Structure 1
Amino acid sequence: MDRAQKAESIEALKGVFADAGAVVVTHYMGLTVAEMTDLRGRLRKEGAQIKVVKNTLAQKALGGSIGEEGDALFKGPVAIAFAPDPVSAAKVVTEYAKGNDKLKVVGGFMGQTVLNDQGVKALASLPSLDQIRATLIGLVQAPATKVAGVLAAPAGQIARVLKAHADKNAA
């Protein structure tokens, strides 16, 4: 890799780190191509990606912004999982790591905050952005449904009373 390619890779990583809600750092030693492809597919379904990175290039792209603790994450064979949503990449990678001992979650970072492996697991346990949106929409719609039910109830009662009188008069 020549200097131009390295500079291009560093700029691409800077863009990834700037746009990602959270970055999950993993060790992937021993994963087969099929397992890595499966993981990529699962991440893609959630709008996330995984990328194998050179440690020195990732550290240069970060420029020391996350400190020595963050630089320490980039040791050994490293792949980073990232997405605009802070939860989705962590959720998929953590779930996949439970079923596959070869993938190991080392840690991660959100902006300037460095997370250890337990922090990434805690992040993965949070609801995703889509789940939060669905919950909020449900909460907003519930009162409207109840109001409509309350308003319709008196009209229904009047209709039943009138029907009862009509039936009584017809008999």
Structure 2
Amino acid sequence: MKTKKLKEQIAKELKEKFEKAPLVVLTDFQGMTVAESNALRRKLREVGAEYKVVKNTLMRYAYPGTPVEQIKDSFVGPTGIVFAYDDIVAAAKALKEFMDEKDSKLKFKAAVVEGKVADYNMVKQLAELPGREELLGQLAFTLKYPVNAVAWSLENLFTKLVTVLENIKAEKEGAA
């Protein structure tokens, strides 16, 4: 049995996570085995997210004053929480992949994305976006392209200039 002090500490840590995480997803994990739960935790950890299972009574002390308070009615029955901090797209993809597996017993309850309530379709749309690394690659290409275009144009210009000078030299040598 947990002491009152320990429960207060857990509620405080949860509140900090609710405030800090831009993506919080509530799930129903009823029927999942320990192995499945560990696989989910591993998959989320790989993308910088985490999965917690905490009693609903403790969560009721943690959500007041946080964006998660908007979905407080979903804290019913077995509830697992996904917290994503850095790359919310990668976390949404990992969660969606796990939920889409053939025998997955994990069910979506509710979510808060960047302080706004989101349904499962919104989380699926988030999962379909390009990941952080892919977006950074696209940005780098976009920033690099104009520089490459100028360099190619200058190179092309110098090649044409050399060709013109060689033709003039050839004409002068032929006239001499």
TM bin (shorter chain): 0.7 to 0.9
Indicate the percent of aligned positions where both proteins have the same amino acid: 35
1:23-42 correspondence to structure 2 within 5 Å = 23-42=24-43
The answer to whether structure 1 residue 91 and structure 2 residue 59 are counterparts is no
* Aligned partner of residue 51 in structure 1, secondary structure: strand
How far residue 61 of structure 1 moved from its aligned partner, in angstroms, is: 0.6
Question: Scaled by the length of structure 2, what TM-score is found?
Answer: 0.81
Question: Scaled by the length of structure 1, what TM-score is found?
Answer: 0.84
The answer to whether structure 1 residue 153 and structure 2 residue 156 are counterparts is yes
The answer to whether structure 1 residue 12 and structure 2 residue 13 are counterparts is yes
Cα offsets for 1:18-38 (capped at 9, x unmatched): 111110111112222222222
The letter for the 1-side match of 2:50 is: Q
Q: Distance in 1 between matches of 2:42 and 2:104?
A: 19
* Aligned partner of residue 93 in structure 1, secondary structure: helix
Q: Which residue of 2 aligns with 1:82?
A: 83
Q: Distance in 1 between matches of 2:156 and 2:114?
A: 53
The answer to whether structure 1 residue 102 and structure 2 residue 105 are counterparts is yes
Q: Distance in 2 between matches of 1:35 and 1:120?
A: 21
Q: Which residue of 1 aligns with 2:123?
A: 120
Runs of 5+ consecutive residues of structure 1 not aligned to the other structure: none
1:156-167 correspondence to structure 2 within 5 Å = 156-159=159-162, 162=166
Question: How many positions carry a matched residue from both structures?
Answer: 167
Pair member with larger Rg: 2
Q: Which residue of 1 aligns with 2:50?
A: 49
How far residue 107 of structure 1 moved from its aligned partner, in angstroms, is: 1.7
The more displaced of 13-22 and 106-115 is 106-115
Q: Distance in 2 between matches of 1:141 and 1:2?
A: 58
Contact 2:68 2:112 in 1 (8 A): no
Contact 1:24 1:89 in 2 (8 A): no
Q: Which runs of 4+ in 1 moved over 6 A?
A: none
Contact 1:28 1:104 in 2 (8 A): yes
Q: Distance in 1 between matches of 2:90 and 2:20?
A: 14
Q: Which residue of 1 aligns with 2:134?
A: 131
The more displaced of 16-25 and 130-139 is 130-139
